[in-house]
Amino acid sequence: MTTTRVGDGLAVDEDLLVAAERAVSAALAALGGTAPDLAFVFVSGGTPEETERALVHAADLVGAGTSLGCGAQGVMAGGHGVEAGYAVSVWAASMPSVSVRAFHLEVLRMTESVAVLGMPVRRDDDVVGVVIADPYSFPADGFVARSHDSLAGLPLVGGMASGAPVAGATRLLVDGRVVDRGAVGVVLGGDLSVHTLVSQGCRPIGMPMTVTGADGATLYELAGRPAFEQAKSALASLDEQEQVNAVRGLQLGVVVDEYVEQHEQGDFLVRAITGADHATGAITTGEVIPVGTTVQFLLRDKNAAHEDLSAVLGAVRRSIGLEAVAGALVFSAGARGRSMFPTTDHDIAAVRGVLGTESVAGFFTSGEIGPLAGRNHVHGFSATVLAFGA
């Protein structure tokens, strides 16, 4: 296997063109003069027009065979995260013997359906896909849900662009040009070693239960009791301080594989609880959960998020043994910045520290994409990571 080399750079400057130049310079320095095959650029803090100019300028300077990126509410590289500030992060990689195919997905809206056009046909040696999508115009939930069949099981990692206040303000970079809708990405194949990680930042409370009464996204009964009563019982198992945190952090985990007898922390797909009705005893979630599904209440707070990310990273590090990690891309929920942790550096510092690589970059998303139990999902409040073996 040939050697993969990765570099990253972060620059903060109100002049985003200057920031782009400095970030590119830092990323290329780590490649020792080798031309990059793939680069990612993430820009925060500017107007849509400023973001577009910075994305194109960075892509021109980095000179990669394929370049992708987006505007975001915050960016990460150089061991640090920047939120709500003018900054550019750049990630560049030299990957000999790796095939790189960029794409721009566009949405064709018909009378009763939506079609997504532009995805490359799956090849036998394809290893992973990276997707960055506009949250306003791209049907990420439907596309990702169907990707297991349409892409023959190809893992997808990435996130939803963030920071754009209105539809049409998103800026996505693909091979030196900028688009304002759809999704952009790349399919990587050939002689490539990658590891995908998803940290949902929760820990289970209470016991797994079967949904015994439901109507769409409304759950009326869990294990034969009102769903709201079951939620209160789960909260009662926590100590006083945890109960305070659970007011905002209570989530519902939906089991991914019903055939697993013992369900552990990573076996549940986390979904938000969007409402509760004291009178009917019902709770509502963000998606349809059929009767017969196994669910469990989960708690999300900074301690659970830290422990889960450390555990997921540690498991991958142990599985690859002494193999070096050349670099990684990180897609972290915007809520995992200063609103959850003491600094914006938490996720990138954890990835660098546990995986043992300095070449890490990414952005704070409005939704994360990553595989769980062999299928791709759209997540919230999570961190997804794509680690590249050397």
Q: What CATH number does the domain containing 213 carry?
A: 2.40.30
When pLDDT is averaged across residues 176-198 and rounded to a whole number, the result is 96
> Do residues 183 and 226 both lie within one domain?
no
> Do residues 15 and 116 both lie within one domain?
yes
pLDDT value of residue 145: 92
> Do residues 87 and 188 both lie within one domain?
yes
Residue located via tokens 């992973």 = 128
Residue 322: pLDDT above 60?
no
List C-alpha distances in Å: 72 to 76, 182, 206, 284, 340. Answer: 10, 16, 37, 30, 18
Residues 267-309 have pLDDT tens digits of: 789 998 989 998 999 999 988 999 999 999 998 888 889 999 9
> Do residues 64 and 138 both lie within one domain?
yes
For helices 346-355 and 302-319, the axis angle rounded to 10 degrees is 20
Domain that holds residue 239: 203-299
CB 362, CB 368: distance < 8 Å: no
pLDDT value of residue 373: 85
What's the mean pLDDT when you consider all of the chain? 92
Residues 325-384 have pLDDT tens digits of: 999 999 999 999 998 999 999 999 999 999 999 999 999 999 999 999 889 999 988 999
Whether 317 is covered by a domain: the verdict is no
Whether 170 is covered by a domain: the verdict is yes
Please give the Cα distance from 169 to 172 (Å, whole number). Answer: 10
> Do residues 286 and 348 both lie within one domain?
no
pLDDT value of residue 385: 98
List C-alpha distances in Å: 325 to 153, 271, 370. Answer: 24, 31, 19
In the DSSP assignment, the letter for residue 382 is: -
pLDDT value of residue 300: 85
Residues 191-245 have pLDDT tens digits of: 999 999 999 988 888 889 999 999 999 999 999 999 999 999 988 888 877 777 6
Sign, Cα dihedral of 33, 39, 44, 48: positive
Whether 304 is covered by a domain: the verdict is no
Residue 257: pLDDT above 80?
no
Please give the Cα distance from 222 to 276 (Å, whole number). Answer: 14
Please give the Cα distance from 23 to 54 (Å, whole number). Answer: 11
> Do residues 270 and 353 both lie within one domain?
no
Spacing of C-alpha 245 from chain mean position? 24
* Cβ within 8 Å of residue 7, ≥6 positions away: 26, 27, 28, 29, 30, 31, 36, 91, 92, 93, 327, 359
> Do residues 208 and 189 both lie within one domain?
no
Q: Please choose, from the candidates 98, 132, 8, the residue with its C-alpha nearest in 3D space to the C-alpha of residue 62.
A: 8
> Do residues 158 and 264 both lie within one domain?
no
pLDDT value of residue 318: 86
When pLDDT is averaged across residues 113-138 and rounded to a whole number, the result is 95
Residues β-bridged to residue 8: 91
pLDDT value of residue 204: 87
CB 40, CB 361: distance < 8 Å: yes
Indicate the pLDDT class of residue 111, thresholds 50, 70 and 90: confident
Whether 355 is covered by a domain: the verdict is yes
> Do residues 10 and 57 both lie within one domain?
yes
> Do residues 76 and 126 both lie within one domain?
yes
> Do residues 160 and 46 both lie within one domain?
yes
pTM over 0.85: yes
pLDDT value of residue 63: 96
Whether 307 is covered by a domain: the verdict is no
* Residue 112 φ/ψ region, left for φ over 0, alpha for ψ in the -120 to 50 degree band, beta for the rest: alpha
Indicate the pLDDT class of residue 262, thresholds 50, 70 and 90: low
Whether 173 is covered by a domain: the verdict is yes
Task: Pick the range with the lowest mean pLDDT from 12-26, 180-194, 197-211.
Answer: 197-211
Within 13 Å, how many C-alpha atoms sit on residue 51's CB side?
Answer: 28
Indicate the pLDDT class of residue 109, thresholds 50, 70 and 90: confident
Specify the number of domains making up the chain. Answer: 2
Whether 318 is covered by a domain: the verdict is no
> Do residues 236 and 345 both lie within one domain?
no
Whether 313 is covered by a domain: the verdict is no
